[in-house]
Structure 1
Amino acid sequence: MSFPIVRHRRLRQSANIRSLVRETVLTVDDFIQPIFVAYGTGVKKEIPSMPGVYHFSLDTLEQEVKEIVELGIKAVLLFGIPETKDAIGSSGFAEDGIVQEATRVIKKLYPDLLVVADTCLCEFTDHGHCGMVHTYERDGHVCGDVMNDESLELLARTAVSQARAGADIIAPSNMMDGFVQAIRAALDENGFSHIPIMSYSVKYASAFYGPFRDAADSAPQFGDRKTYQMDPANVREALREAESDVLEGADMLMVKPALAFMDVIRLVRDQFDLPLVAYNVSGEYSMVKAAAQQGWINEQAIVTEMLLGMKRAGADMIITYFSKDMARWLREA
């Protein structure tokens, strides 16, 4: 009787055997939970395009953070929605800015919870771009050029103010050339040489950001971000971007988005030995939530497989709006 020489199914025949030989495992330590913080009192407002994700005011933030800590999640990523906006995003680097105030609240309540501060200007500028803009009219339309070097000083001020407020990690997401070097120098000069930089090194100009721009009220008022965020068609460029950040002093690298860029995660992982972050972004989250609400998919199974894929591709940690859900599912497993 003939039979296969190799029987791969021997190692799949029971749940315990599959668990014993499993190569990639998700744990609660892998996840960073994003939080959107806004001014006001008593605010817990669900974001329509992101079911289960909310805007919190400083007084309602405590309950959210308490839940995150009790689930065993070790880090949060803060985004702020300011009361006022201007051309340079000054509320982003104000000492009493919303991200700075939220950081103080969290660190007072839970000193060991890691606060990662998103360092960008798009939420704080009245034009919605990630840096200073030179505006002009063309054929009756407002146009603008995002000024790279002039923006670096403002981003550095933002990072320093966030570190001064107690942020444990600075996460610059602006994609200006030279932003890591500018922020590293400013942090060091102001006594924050111990604060690591989690750089949004490889950030694509992606359609997957749509729900986030609703959540953060950060859609550009003219043009788009394709002159500074990467073309989704490019992969070799990702290595150039990551290498620049490594040379400038980044402590962690990031690929954003994650789901459509698994190949990029693997490529960056293979080329660099710094810790690597995958950002499971808003559009990826909202698609799954919408399909689950229709009963078309098994949400837990889909999310678990999706996040396993990101980790298998090489991510050491994952920023995801599913962090709390995954923490609960892992406890129940």
Structure 2
Amino acid sequence: MGARGGEPSARGALPLALSLGEPAGIGPDVVLFAWLRREGERLPAFFVVGDPACLAARARLLGLNVPLAMVSPAEAAEAFATALPVVPAGTRATAAPGHPDASSAPAVIESLDRAVDLVQAGAAAALVTAPLSKAVVYGAGFPFPGHTEYLAARCAPLGGPAPRPVMMIWSELLAVVPATIHIPLAQVPSAVTRDLLVETGHIVARDMAGRFGLARPRLAFAGLNPHAGEDGTLGREDEDVVRPAVAALRAAGIDATGPFPADTLFHPEARAGYDVVIGMYHDQVLIPAKTLAFHDGVNVTLGLPLVRTSPDHGTAFAIAGTGRADPSSLMAALRLARRLADAPA
């Protein structure tokens, strides 16, 4: 499942922009831990966009010796070897670890806005986002369901429609895409349409080829119903919706197959037959993805004109500031962002 491609592009000289996320969560913890492991883990250069006082306070709490360097983006790559580069942005983040409150929202939103601006301006090669708390930012009037929808709106051309974002959870073992994301399970059958699946398939195939370097990406579609509907005897959706969508993608030259029973789609022999699974709903594909690669999974947003990755975990308030947070997913997100940003255009 590794990305393939030729020599790094000119963007290889640019660092990555990392938005700090929810200050009361484990975002500051994993950022600090990741920087400390930068050499052993061969991490690409990055700078943090956010409140330097928050990072300094968390380092003191965790007993970590992490020098901070307040820099411009152009200075970040050089500073990275000896200090954690920080581009100050946003209101002071004053919430205590594990105790989110409304004061975090401006810091989170302003950090994210600034990081996106820097990537779009060409000052950073790609965007990596630490987890945010939806409940906190919703209280401040954040009008988007999450990072994905926000980024689509920010990437809309002037006067034009927003690009259609697609969420993929990627690891070296498995890549999955849920066709529907954060909706109640009862709404999934009506939300899964032929047009949705065809559009999703085109976006996934395009980005798996263009960003991941797969000459002919293999897309496997999971069925909606048990046994993929058992020829219509366990529900008609797989025959009437999923199968025609797969046929339409194949007619367009895309290597799409399915629908397959989801319960036999994720063992090693099955995984050897595809590059990505497109499932019908969130838990259908995220449960196997997180079971196989909980600490190494990366959330990648496909369909955008910029590269965005994120650790595949949330704010984990219960362990924020305790030293128990694992930075593996953030480090994987940083490495993957670098690989995708350096992929030949």
Instruction: Give the TM-score of the pair, scaled to structure 1.
Output: 0.30
1 or 2, which has the higher strand percentage? 1
Q: Which has the higher contact order (CA 8 A, sep 6+)?
A: 2
The alignment's TM-score, normalised by the length of structure 2, stands at: 0.29
